[in-house]
Every structure is written in C-alpha cells, then in structure tokens.
Amino acid sequence: MNPLQQFLVDSGGVVTFEKFMRWALYDPQHGYYSRRVTNVGRTGDFATSATLSPALGQAITAWAKAHREEAISDNRWHLIEVGPGNGQLAAGILRSLRGWMHRRLTYHLVEISPPLAERQRETLRHAARGLLAPSLHWHTEIAHALQEADGHALIISNELVDAFPCVALELGPGADGFREVGLRWDDARQEPVEILLDPSADYSACVAALPQEARRIEIHSAWREWLEKWRKDWKRGRMLTIDYGDRAGTLYHRRPRGTLRGFFRQQRIDGPEIYERAGHQDLTADVNFSDLVRWGEELGLTAAPLQTQRDFILHWNPGVDSTDAATAQILDPLGAGRAFKVLEQFV
C-alpha cells in the first residue's frame, strides 16, 4: 500500500482536498516541505523572483528603511521574514543595508521546514562571512519573533501564502452551488479520485466576489487561521505579502477552472497528475487577494492598494538595471511583473 493510499485508509476513506494537501506538503514523514525539498531556485523544483534577481530584495530593503521607525524596540529595529526559502532574499536585504542601520537590525527568519532552515543558514554564512550571525534569529513560529520584538516589526513574505493548504470548491450540478472537493481511493482503478462533498465551513463571503464564469476556486483559509493566531502579538508595523494571484474577479475570470498545480524539477504538473507524486512535489494555487484584504480588515489591518510586482520594484528601486535578463523577467508586464502582486497591510 503506497503512502497516499495508506493515508486515505487511515483517514476513513475520504478526505477534503485541504487535508490531502496538508498531508502532502507537511506530514512529518511524507510531506514535501518536511522531508523532500532541499533548495529553491534554478536547482530546486521551483524558483522565486528573489532567487532569479537581486532587484526585488533591493526594493524591499528601500521599503523597510522607509518604515523602520515603526519597527523599533529597545533601540533596535526588527524585520521578520516568514518562509525565507533558500535565504537568498534575506542575504540580498542584508547586503543592501549599510552602517548603523545594519548594526541595529535584528533579522528574524520564521521557517518550519528543517531542510530549508539549514539551507538558509548555509546561504547566510556564505553571504555574510559570519559578520551578521549575532543579528539573525531563527524561529518556527512568527509569534516567537514578535515576542522578541515586543510586537513592533516589519513583516515580509515572498511566495508564502500559496504554500498554505487550500480548500478547493467546485460548482456542483444543477442548483447545488459550490461544493468542497474531496478525495477517496478507488480500488478498481488503484488511484485516488476526486469527489464532491458538503462544505465543511461557510465560504459564502469568498464565493460572493466571484465572476459568473468561475467553476472551481481555491480558498487559503489556513492562512486566515494562521494570521488570527499571532495577530494579537503584533502591535505596530507593516506587512508585505508578495505572491502570484489577483483579486477574485480577475483571477477566476481568466482561470474559471481554478489554479491548482504542482511543480516537480521545474516542470508544471496539472490535473490528476498532481496526485501521482504526492509528497515528492510542490503543490500550489494562485492567491485570491480579495480574501487576504477582507480577512486582514476583519482582524484590524488596513490595506494599501494592491500593486503589481513590477510597479513595486520600479517605485522602490527606480535605478534597477532592467537590461539584465533575469531582472527583465521579473519585471515583464506580460509575465511575472504582472502575475505577482504585492499587498501592504499595516497596524
């Protein structure tokens, strides 16, 4: 019996897609992020804008310097990166800082993946030659970082939300409306098959903003639950959330069948194939920023207008070398420059 089949049997034969995705990514024995992922970038299963070009890190540095007064505690300022990947974004930010501003910074890295935490330490050792070690603090929970910062911090994440397990909803037949996608093992076919279940929660607010064309959607409700857990520990500062996605109307107008997919050795995996290497590949879905804004408002956060990655970089890093091939790729208005969005929220 393969691990996925065993998981479904142990779970009573049927699970929601969200529960499957959580197992496939974070199970201590079989999860991709827990055991399999060793790098992010050109040599990993997927790359991020920060691993392709220093331009994003330079822009974030300028943004952080402009708002650092909001993140001071005990004469130090605190920058928290959640899900730091291979550490290249942190290395770029730290290289971009100079003088007293650098010396008074405590950089917190929040990482739950042991393989990636080790990769981050290796990256930062090489980038800093040991000079930055006293100002680097690793955590497995953001609440711990905020407690060290006495609640005053700037928070950044790059391609974090898409790594949260998501609920999948599909429009049912007739007047059924949206129903939750589940998974069961088919003994005759010897493979997992999708089924439609009654929703396990009230998703009416998420569905209300959808375009008429939408037939299948993803909801990162686990991110909302995560935010709620530590929001009380955050007293002052700003948060940058960078990820691929859009507002609900645009996102599902262009992709009415949803955005779920996998990545294995830089190859995109779609459809039923996302179940074939469960635990051995990344699973992801585009971020519905309409949900993130609404959830943040419910928890007392104010959102600035949503920006494209291109606009954010050009605003904060106006001297960027756009002739560089990798930088041009992350600025491409027909590609990553538009597909990735930057959400700023503050308290």
Q: What is the pLDDT of residue 200?
A: 86
State mean pLDDT over 127-142: 75
Q: Which of 213, 209, 230, 256 is nearest to 82 (CA)?
A: 230
Distance of CA 101 to the CA centre of its chain: 28
**Other CB atoms closer than 10 Å to residue 250's CB: what's the count?**
14
Whose tokens are 């605003």? That residue is: 315
Q: What is the pLDDT of residue 68?
A: 95
- pLDDT surpassing 90 at residue 52: no
Task: Give the pLDDT band (50/70/90) at residue 319.
Answer: very high
274-288 in b/e form (b: 16+ CB < 10 A) is bbebbbbbbbbbbbb
CA 63/CA 55 separation, integer angstroms? 13
Q: What is the pLDDT of residue 41?
A: 47
Pick the CATH number of 38-162+205-214+221-346 from 3.40.50.740, 3.30.1050.10, 3.40.30.10, 3.40.50.12710: 3.40.50.12710
Distance of CA 104 to the CA centre of its chain: 28
Whose tokens are 């929001």? That residue is: 231
- pLDDT surpassing 50 at residue 130: no
Structure tokens at 286: 């585009």
Coil vs helix vs strand at 186: strand
CB 183 within 8 A of CB 192: yes
Residues sharing a CB contact under 8 Å with residue 284, sequence separation 6 or more, in sequence order: 162, 163, 260, 261, 262, 263
Distances from the Cα of 11 to the Cαs of 1, 14, 19, in angstroms? 14, 7, 10
Q: Are strands 72-73 and 76-82 parallel, antiparallel or unpaired?
A: antiparallel
57-92, pLDDT tens digit by residue? 999 999 999 999 999 998 999 999 999 999 999 999
| pTM, full prediction | 0.92
CA 149/CA 73 separation, integer angstroms? 6
User: Who wins on pLDDT, 91 or 36?
Assistant: 91
- pLDDT surpassing 90 at residue 133: no
User: Who wins on pLDDT, 103 or 177?
Assistant: 177
Residues sharing a CB contact under 8 Å with residue 153, sequence separation 6 or more, in sequence order: 71, 78, 79, 80, 108, 145, 146, 234, 237
